[in-house]
């Protein structure tokens, strides 16, 4: 926090930033610092995937690209300040220095298709380096399937208790952003994977998804597992828990789902946030047409 305070004073005294910009930068930096604390990281240990996930959540909440661009500029400026004042070496902050500014306009969320999801599940079934026991494989398969078929946020999925899951067959009530509750359907394939996991999970705990040591499963560990799977399968670096949520929305839309229904399923506050998925589908149609015409 001292570094943030010193940086803000530097901007006031030597850069003549406006009061509005100073206030915005302060909020941006405190917000990022809070995120780093929540995942037990700092400026020089945070990974590219973790930074990407930080901003992906903002997009999902409807934060516009112009605001995202300002936040990224703020972080990059702060990183350069820390390097210039000998708090860090340049290579230590390369993940922050190399953040790319988004194009001003609507961002197309990354999405994977059903074939890739099946490839991920198949890999988990055969892996012995990430997963030491069968129940751990079944847990992550259940979680991947749940996220992909419901569009839940990873935080929402991990907050589900075993009792809440067992008492409601076919659906579950979850509490999303801002404390707003919504009903999410659990289709048969997801229920089947979850039940397969519960049958052999060695721990009897309140939460549905349990860590290898019997504690509440963390989003960070699951994200790390996905990161290792992605690297081993040479998949896009956009594969994150958040990507599974986007993939669900895109798949529903491409199969005739209505924007309003997708908005309700995902728990978006504004229809404009959900509307971006129509652009994803149009982009895919254009890509497929191009492949056909050029083949």
Domains 2-97 and 114-290 share a fold: no
pLDDT per position as a tens digit, 38-86: 888 988 888 887 888 888 778 766 677 788 889 999 999 999 999 998 7
Which range of 12-16, 169-173, 225-229 scores highest in mean pLDDT? It is 225-229
Angstrom distance (rounded) from CA 65 to CA 76: 16
User: What stretches of the chain show up as alpha helix (H) in DSSP?
Assistant: 2-10, 19-38, 48-60, 65-84, 94-97, 114-126, 134-150, 154-158, 162-167, 188-200, 219-233, 241-254, 259-266, 271-294
pTM of the model: 0.60
* Res. 290 pLDDT band, cuts 50 70 90: very low
242 a catalytic residue: yes
Pairwise pLDDT comparison (230 vs 1), residue with the higher score: 230
Is 57 a residue of the active site? no
CATH number belonging to domain 114-290 = 1.10.443.10
Tell me if 174 sits within 8 A of 156, measured CB to CB.
Answer: yes
Confidence of residue 197 (pLDDT cuts 50, 70, 90): very high
Which one of the listed residues 137, 139, 153, 193 is annotated catalytic? 153
Is 153 catalytic? The answer is yes
Pick among 1.10.150.130, 1.10.260.30, 1.10.3720.10, 3.40.50.300: CATH of 2-97? 1.10.150.130
Catalytic residue among 110, 138, 139, 242: 242
Condensed to tens digits (0 to 9), the pLDDT of residues 110-121 reads: 667 788 899 999
């Amino acid at each position: 926090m001292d570094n943030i305070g010193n940086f803000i004073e530097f901007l006031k005294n030597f850069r003549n930033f406006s009061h509005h910009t100073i206030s915005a930068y302060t909020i941006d930096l405190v917000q990022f610092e809070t995120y780093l604390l929540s995942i037990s990281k700092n400026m020089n240990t945070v990974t590219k995937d973790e930074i990407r996930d930080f901003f992906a959540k903002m997009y999902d909440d409807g934060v516009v690209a112009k605001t995202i661009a300002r936040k990224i500029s703020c972080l990059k400026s702060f990183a350069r300040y820390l390097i210039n004042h000998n708090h860090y070496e340049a290579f230590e902050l390369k993940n922050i220095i190399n953040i790319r500014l988004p194009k001003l306009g609507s961002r197309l969320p990354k999405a994977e298709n059903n074939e890739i999801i099946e490839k991920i599940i198949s890999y988990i079934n055969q892996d012995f380096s990430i997963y030491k026991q069968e129940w751990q494989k079944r847990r992550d398969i259940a979680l991947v399937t749940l996220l992909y078929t419901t569009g839940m946020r990873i935080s929402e999925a991990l907050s589900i208790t075993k009792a809440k899951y067992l008492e409601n067959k076919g659906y579950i009530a979850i509490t999303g952003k801002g404390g707003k509750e919504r009903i999410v359907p659990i289709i048969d394939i997801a229920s089947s994977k979850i039940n397969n996991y519960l049958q052999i999970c060695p721990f009897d705990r309140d939460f549905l998804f349990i860590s290898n040591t019997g504690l509440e499963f963390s989003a960070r560990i699951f994200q790390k597992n996905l990161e290792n799977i992605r690297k081993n399968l040479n998949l896009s670096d956009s594969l994150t828990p958040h990507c599974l949520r986007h993939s669900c929305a895109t798949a529903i839309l491409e199969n005739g789902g209505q924007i309003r229904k997708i908005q309700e399923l995902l728990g978006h506050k504004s229809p404009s946030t959900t509307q971006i998925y129509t652009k994803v589908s149009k982009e895919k149609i254009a890509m497929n047409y191009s492949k056909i015409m050029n083949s």
